[in-house]
Amino acid sequence: MDDKLLKIRHSLAHILAGAVLEHDDKAKFGTGPATDNGFYYDIELSSPVNEENLPKLEELMREILKEGFTPEMHEITYEDAKQRFKDQTHKLELIEKLNDEGAKLSTYTIGNFTDLCEGPHVESSKDIDPEAFMLSNVAGAYWQGDENNQMLTRIYGIAFESKADLDAYKEQQEEAKKRDHRKIGKELDLFAFSPLVGSGLPLFTPKGNIMRKELEEFVWELAKPYGYERVNIPHMAKCDLYKTSGHYDKFADDIFFVKSKKTDDEFIMKPMNCPHHTQIFASQPRSYKDLPIRYSEVTTVYRDENTGQLAGLTRVRSITQDDAHVFCTEDQVKDEVLAIYDIIKNFYEAFDMPLAVRLSTNDPEEPEKYLGTPELWENSINTLKSCIEEIGKEYVTEPGEAAFYGPKIDFVATDAIGREWQLATAQLDFNLPERFKLEYTDSDGKKKRPVMIHRAISGSLERFLGVAIEHFAGAFPLWLSPIQVGLVPVSEDHAAYTQELKEKLEAQNIRVEVNAENISLGKRIYGFKGQKVPYVIVVGDKEVESNEVSPEHRDLGKLDGVNVDDFIQKLIEERDSRALAPTT
């Protein structure tokens, strides 16, 4: 988000608070930040607000803008702040926290509302287009994100620099609704959820599992030439593993614990795979001649996400990662990261999803959030910067977005309707090798620590599948489609030849389904089209007699009189090249 848009959105959060104050003069205010597409404010209300109230609040906001204002900032002492916000319980809590941290306190007055705030804001109301924002929805939110705290009302808004930008966003959102992977996934019978299994635990049907396996094998096909080897680890481990790694203390609230009735041991359902992989490395002596060692695995991890955060396949509790970890020397890091980039680039090209690059670093002002010394972090960040320079792509730096053990290069993919998804990543880690005392014998006979690189290509199969469903709107390229060819015999007289054709296709590992139901021919054809099958072939007298087919492609229409063997060869080429569309 650029600085101008940040100021607009942050200022609108304050204007929203002022409008709410006119609606409810007893309201107690929490916080109101800018977001990726707008703003929100968390408020304790004595007079409830629902979505029917939003047009009125929007009207009040526009009145505040019409009256005009210039934001007024005043530094304020701790005692003055307590007096100024004596009736605002949530602000008093923030004041105490900021005072304990030694932070300077300041207020901003915008229109009729004065807030505890450090900015930034627009210079005047003239910087905000009154037609370029809207209030979108109302939700509940725990104060400070803690479920042990009071539930507040969160009012969301959308905001852009111009009405045209807002209209484009609204159009994108309408298109996103049509592409919702939860809706399409149900229509195409790809996955299901069950209350008996639990929230956030998707069940993949045969068709959905085909897609998962295709994605898994594609990543492996790209990674194998770079020397990766497959490993396999259990889905749980003793707590000691994660205490050593640091994950236990860092993510205790997100961990599923398992207690053995036969021993006193406490186990954890693994929330990540890297600690297990360190133990494979540590299982025998290593020499510099063995490095790099590259362990690859597609396996599920488990995280206790809040129920309210779960969202179809894009936010789940069982997360199947296409995970890999590289153990190498410092001199080998750049080559390994560049190889990872090649894998990522080739993967996303197959989906026609452009990539942007983000360098995620630590926040030096909050060192307690990270493992390792400042020197280690500086070294790691500089190493990744040199990798990005070698790649030759522009990048942005995002302080505070690093993993707790090291900086990372995040690759942000853009889908068919312009949304951005952070999926692939390469992460540098000097910390876990130190914490687990991993070592190899160098050429001088001395013991040294390896560097560890964490990498993911699709991110997780669940999330990527959700993104891919929406990216293609369910109309998948041939290689990814659960059903690649649909066969529709005109009558029972054509059943034998249809079966023969099916067997010919299946002999080339082409996925085929026959619809010979006792319903009209049109309904059977429409059934395959509704499932967005790439090719549908009607089998009648002409096909039986000529050994030719007239397949109808989902997008290109009917192809008349194609020799069966030639058609099969065309399918093989389209599938094996992972083409987005057939060549005509």
Residues in the chain: 584
CA nearest neighbour of 342 among 202, 176, 226, 447: 226
- The conformation of residue 493, written as its DSSP 8-state character, comes to G
Token pair, residue 110, equals 């915008």
Q: pTM for the whole thing?
A: 0.87
Sheet containing strand 151-159, edge to edge, reads 28-29, 38-44, 151-159, 133-142
The residue whose two tokens read 């190498």 is 328
- Distance, in Å, from the CA atom of 458 to the CA atom of 28, rounded to the nearest integer, reads 43
- The conformation of residue 368, written as its DSSP 8-state character, comes to G
* Catalytic site positions: 274, 303, 321, 323, 325, 408, 454
Confidence of residue 36 (pLDDT cuts 50, 70, 90): confident
Q: How buried is residue 583: exposed, middle or buried, by Cβ count under 10 Å (0-12/13-18/19+)?
A: exposed
Q: Is residue 504 within 8 Å of residue 568, measured between CB atoms?
A: yes
CA nearest neighbour of 460 among 572, 321, 274, 353: 321
CB proximity list for 454: less than 8 A, separation 6 or greater: 274, 323, 324, 325, 403, 408, 425, 426, 427, 429
- Distance, in Å, from the CA atom of 117 to the CA atom of 74, rounded to the nearest integer, reads 10
Confidence of residue 212 (pLDDT cuts 50, 70, 90): very high
Residue 332 clears pLDDT 90, i.e. is over it? yes
Q: 59-88, pLDDT tens digit by residue?
A: 999 999 999 999 999 999 999 999 999 989
Average pLDDT over residues 490-509: 95
Token pair, residue 122, equals 């627009």
- The conformation of residue 34, written as its DSSP 8-state character, comes to B
Q: 552-575, pLDDT tens digit by residue?
A: 999 989 888 899 999 999 999 999
Using alpha carbons only, give the angle 185, 136, 108 rounded to the nearest 5 degrees: 135
- The conformation of residue 289, written as its DSSP 8-state character, comes to G
CA nearest neighbour of 438 among 269, 295, 232, 300: 295
- Distance, in Å, from the CA atom of 67 to the CA atom of 62, rounded to the nearest integer, reads 9
Query: Tell me, what's the pLDDT at 265?
Result: 84
Residue 175 clears pLDDT 80, i.e. is over it? yes
Confidence of residue 3 (pLDDT cuts 50, 70, 90): confident
Q: Is residue 128 within 8 Å of residue 18, measured between CB atoms?
A: no
- Distance, in Å, from the CA atom of 89 to the CA atom of 30, rounded to the nearest integer, reads 9
Give Cα separations from 322 to 212, 273, 296, 459 (angstroms): 11, 10, 8, 7
Confidence of residue 15 (pLDDT cuts 50, 70, 90): very high
Q: What is the residue-averaged pLDDT of the chain?
A: 93
Query: Tell me, what's the pLDDT at 584?
Result: 63
Residue 185 clears pLDDT 80, i.e. is over it? yes
- Distance, in Å, from the CA atom of 487 to the CA atom of 525, rounded to the nearest integer, reads 9
Query: Tell me, what's the pLDDT at 469?
Result: 97
Lowest mean pLDDT across 238-242, 250-254, 477-481: 250-254
Q: 110-152, pLDDT tens digit by residue?
A: 988 999 998 899 999 999 999 999 999 999 988 988 878 999 9
Query: Tell me, what's the pLDDT at 181?
Result: 97
Considering the chain, what percentage of its residues have pLDDT values greater than 70?
100
Average pLDDT over residues 254-272: 89
Q: 364-402, pLDDT tens digit by residue?
A: 878 878 877 888 888 889 989 999 999 988 999 999 888
Residue 1 clears pLDDT 70, i.e. is over it? no
Average pLDDT over residues 450-466: 95
CA nearest neighbour of 575 among 502, 512, 497, 489: 512
Which residues lie across from 302 on neighbouring strands? 318
Sheet containing strand 229-230, edge to edge, reads 229-230, 293-302, 318-328, 451-460, 420-429, 408-414, 355-361, 395-399
> Domains, the chain, ranges and CATH?
3-171 (3.30.980.10), 182-235+286-472 (3.30.930.10), 478-576 (3.40.50.800)
Token pair, residue 415, equals 């889908």
- Distance, in Å, from the CA atom of 179 to the CA atom of 200, rounded to the nearest integer, reads 20
Query: Tell me, what's the pLDDT at 337?
Result: 95
CA nearest neighbour of 421 among 477, 482, 472, 464: 464
Lowest mean pLDDT across 209-218, 260-269, 412-421: 260-269
Token pair, residue 3, equals 């600085």
CA atoms within 13 A on the CB side of 23: 25
CA nearest neighbour of 409 among 377, 392, 387: 387
CB proximity list for 315: less than 8 A, separation 6 or greater: 200, 305, 309, 463
Beta strands in 417-565 (DSSP E): 420-429, 440-441, 447-448, 451-460, 485-489, 512-514, 535-539, 548-549, 552-553, 557-558, 562-563
Average pLDDT over residues 275-293: 97
Q: Is residue 267 within 8 Å of residue 260, measured between CB atoms?
A: yes
Average pLDDT over residues 323-350: 96
Looking at the chain, the number of H-run helices and the number of E-run strands are 18, 29
